[in-house]
Amino acid sequence: MLSGLLIILAPLIVGYLIPLRHDGALRLINRLLSYIVYLILFFMGISLAFLDNLADNLLAIAHYSAVSVAVILLCNCAALLWLERRMPWRHTHHQEALPSRIAMALESLKLCGVVVLGFVVGLSGLGWLQHATAASEYTLIFLLFLIGVQLRNNGMTLRQIVLNRRGMIVAVVVVASSLVAGVINAFVLDLPLKTGLAMASGFGWYSLSGILMTDAYGPVIGSATFFNDLARELIAIMLIPGLVRHSRSTALGLCGATSMDFTLPVLQRSGGIEMVPAAIVHGFILSLLVPILMAFFTA
């Protein structure tokens, strides 16, 4: 149990302790993170191909991910709509023309394509591919180290986080409602409670949550978590423009951890520049919590 916790937290903490001031180095880290995510998801696809009872396991992945994303989004929406009624987010912004949501969705689906590619390669049954699981674990350690460095050097200070009350409150509501959904999922899907809670702790960061869950619980649960969080992002992209008109807190909360990067342009164009500070704080808090909560629940 302790070793699993250390594998996740140790490289993250070591990376977080490293201050970087060189813009070129930070850009290199961001580029490396993209490449490593693709590599580990490719390994995940290979591991899927080596599962026994493959057809049954693929059906299980589809079932777990579909139920999980539905329950999590329903719980998030209910809690965030309640928050909007209790604390309305006043604004005067008129919605601008939006970037193509289809193009953004296709960008997300590229990662899904990498998993499928790894799966197809794994079906070849080549002997050396059986080392994919071990290779992904070592690559994961390096990935977590780089994420720690990135979180430390993204320019967010504790003062900025504390001062943006709306971003903090929405993040707290998303975490609490997601964990409630995790408990419900555990009972509905007949999973251990900690597994349900861990699956609900990805907050849309599919490129990390799927990898961590694969390392902890194997490719079935890992893949289900990946598709659950991927679906969350795709649904958020499609719903943000409509939700912003009625509940800005819900539009922000459904983005999860991606509100500080991938879905930020859609939030800005839909809700105005005033949403950006709250979106960055919200995304930063959730991004910081994903590896911590998953380490706790998978230990």
Confidence (pLDDT) at 75: 96
Ranges 68-72, 88-92, 115-119: which has the least confidence: 88-92
Question: Regarding predicted confidence, which is higher, 71 or 32?
Answer: 71
15-45: pLDDT as tens digits: 888 887 777 887 888 788 878 878 877 887 7
Q: Where are the domains of the chain?
A: 2-298
Q: Which two tokens stand for residue 104?
A: 């953004």
Q: Which residue has the tokens 């704080």?
A: 281
Confidence (pLDDT) at 274: 76
Confidence (pLDDT) at 100: 61
State yes or no: pLDDT of 191 exceeds 60. yes
Whole-number average pLDDT of the chain: 82
Confidence (pLDDT) at 1: 40
Cβ atoms 221, 227 nearer than 8 A: no
Q: What is the pTM of this model?
A: 0.78
Mean pLDDT is highest, among 125-139, 154-168, 220-234, for 220-234
Mean pLDDT is highest, among 13-27, 115-129, 239-253, for 239-253
Distance between CA atoms of 285 and 105, rounded to whole angstroms? 24
Confidence of residue 14 (pLDDT cuts 50, 70, 90): confident
> Which residue type is seen at 78?
A
